[in-house]
Structure 1
C-alpha cells in the first residue's frame, strides 16, 4: 500500500476532487482513479460513492479514513522526530491559538523562543474555543493556547497566566469617569459580545449571571477589536481583555476601561496538548518556554511585556 495513495485518499475524503488530488500528487487523474480502485480492492470494500460530480465516503470509507489519518500522522511525526534527532536545533512547532491572543501573547512567545532556537519553524493556526480542541484532537496542531481548560479526557492542560477582563464603556457613558464599577450597575445596558462558541462569550455570560442578570446582547462579533470599535462608537458596553494602552487611557480616547469589583473579572490562559501523545522535541521545548516565561512574569498578562 503506497503512502502517496493514502495521502490522495485522505485528500479526496476531505473534499478535494480527484483531479486536484492527482495534480498535488504529480500524477494524471486516470492514474489516481486506478490507484484508488486498487486501494478499494486491497481494503475489500467500496470507499467512495459518487453524488453528482462529488465523491463522498461510504460508511466503510469513513471507518478506513480514521486509520489512514492515524497512520499518516504517526509516519509524519516519525519523520519529524528523526529530523530533530539529526538536527536538534531545528524542527517544526504546529501551534493553534485563540484569535484574541494573536495580537500580543503568541507573537511574544514565538519571538522569545526564536531567539534561542532560530532554526525552528512555526505552523500557526487560529480558531475559536471549540475549534481549538478539535484541531488538537485531529492532530492538526501539536499545541493549543486557549482561554479555558478544554476539560476533555484526551487533552492535558496547564495554566499559563490570568488575563484581567475590564468593562469597556464609551467615553460619554454615565460611568466613564469612574475607575471601578460593579458589573450589576450595567445590567440594563446593551452588551457587545463575541458569538457563541468563543470563550469570552461564555465568560461574559457567566460573570453577568454571577452579578445577577443576563446581558442584553446588542451585537455579536468575531474579533475583540470589533467589540472595542463598537463600544467606542457608543453602541454598548463589553467585558474584554484590557487594551495594551489601558487603564492609563487618554481623555481624548473614545473608550474607557473600568475595573469590575463585584465579580472576578479575569480569564485563565493555558496551553494544551494530547495527553496520550509524546510531543516531538521542538514543540516540547516551546511548551517549556511558554510555561517558564509565564512563571517568570508572575502568571499575569500584565507581566508579559
Structure 2
C-alpha cells in the first residue's frame, strides 16, 4: 500500500508539472491513465497539502498563481532528481545501457548527430538517446536546466560552469540563387556580394554572429533582407532569389546539378565555424554518456579529415 501511494503522489506531481506547462487537465489525466475528475481531485488535494492555491482559471485555461510558480521550481527539481536517480541505478545494473541525453543545433541533425549515434549504437546497441534540437542560447539552457547532459554547438558557451571541446571545423559557403551572376563559379570573395540583401538567422543565433563577423572582416556590414529561425528557411529564400546567405556545409554534402542554389567557397575570409561538445563541469556524467562523449571526441573529426584527404 505504501508503494502504491508513493507512486500515485509522484504521478500527481508529474500531472501538476504538465498542467503548469500548458497541458489541459483532460490531456494530463489521459497521460496518467486516470479520469479527468480524479486528476482534478488529486490537484485539489495537492493544494490542500501545500496550503495555497496553485492554479487560477483564466477562461478555459489554468494558469499558475505566484505560489504555484514557486512550487513548480521545486517540483521540477524533485522530478529531475528522481529521474536521474532511476537512470543512475539502471546504469549500475547495466553500464552499457541507459540513455544519453543530448541536445544539438538544428543543422547538425542532418549529418553529424546521426553519424555519431549510428556508430555509437553499433558498439552499444542497448544505449538509448533522448534528443533535443535548439539554437545556441537554448542549448546552454538545456545544460543549466539539466534537460540534457551533453550539447553539440557551434561556439564555446560563455559560462564558467560549462566545459567545451572542439570536435571539428565546419565550412561555411556563400549560398546564391542558381541564376545569380556568380552561380557559375566555384569560388568568390564575400566582398563581391556586399551590396546584396542577406538572408540571416535572427540575432542570438550563433550563425548570425559568425555571418556578421565575416562580413565585417570582408569590409562591409550586411544588408539584412530577412531574418529567420531555421537554416532551411534561409536555403528556401535564397532559392527563391530573395538574397544570398552564409550556409553551413557538411563535409559530405553535394549539390545536384538541378539545385536552385549554388554554394561557393569564400576566398577573402575564413568561412568556417567551430563545432564542439559541452557539458557541465560540476556534473558527474552517467557511464553511458561518458562513453558517448569519448566516442564523439575520438570520431567526429574523422569525416572532415577524410574529406580533406580525398580533395587533396
TM band (smaller chain): 0.7 to 0.9
Instruction: Output one character per residue of 1:108-128: Cα deviation in whole Å (capped at 9) or x when no partner.
Output: 100110110001111222222
1:53 aligns with 2:64: no
CA distance in 1, matches of 2:150, 2:263: 32
CA distance in 1, matches of 2:242, 2:307: 28
Instruction: Output one character per residue of 1:212-255: Cα deviation in whole Å (capped at 9) or x when no partner.
Output: 22212223344434433443444322111236345xx6776554
Displacement after TM superposition at 1:163 (Å): 0.8
For residue 106 of structure 1, give the secondary structure of its aligned residue in structure 2: helix
Please give the root-mean-square deviation of Cα atoms over the aligned residues, in Å: 2.7
Displacement after TM superposition at 1:13 (Å): 1.1
CA distance in 2, matches of 1:64, 1:268: 40
| CA pair 171-25 structure 1, distance change in 2 beyond 3 A | closer
Q: Give the count of matched residue pairs.
A: 302
Question: Of 30, 36, 44, which aligns to 2:37?
Answer: 30
| Kept after mapping to 1: 8 A contact 2:116/2:300 | no
| Kept after mapping to 1: 8 A contact 2:187/2:266 | yes
CA distance in 1, matches of 2:303, 2:256: 26
Question: Of 239, 262, 280, which aligns to 1:256?
Answer: 262
Alignment of 1:1-305 (within 5 A): 2-242=9-249, 244-245=252-253, 254-294=260-300, 296=302
* TM-score, normalised relative to structure 2: 0.85
| CA pair 171-29 structure 1, distance change in 2 beyond 3 A | closer
| CA pair 291-53 structure 1, distance change in 2 beyond 3 A | same
Instruction: Output one character per residue of 1:125-178: Cα deviation in whole Å (capped at 9) or x when no partner.
Output: 222222222233332222221111221344332221111112123344333454
For residue 148 of structure 1, give the secondary structure of its aligned residue in structure 2: coil
Instruction: Output one character per residue of 1:11-60: Cα deviation in whole Å (capped at 9) or x when no partner.
Output: 11111222222222222333322322222233232222222222211222
| Kept after mapping to 1: 8 A contact 2:97/2:288 | yes
| Kept after mapping to 1: 8 A contact 2:203/2:209 | yes
- For structure 2, list consecutive stretches of 5 or more residues without a partner in the other structure: 1-5
| CA pair 302-39 structure 1, distance change in 2 beyond 3 A | farther
| CA pair 149-301 structure 1, distance change in 2 beyond 3 A | farther
| Kept after mapping to 1: 8 A contact 2:112/2:300 | no
For residue 265 of structure 2, give the secondary structure of its aligned residue in structure 1: strand
| Kept after mapping to 2: 8 A contact 1:161/1:301 | no
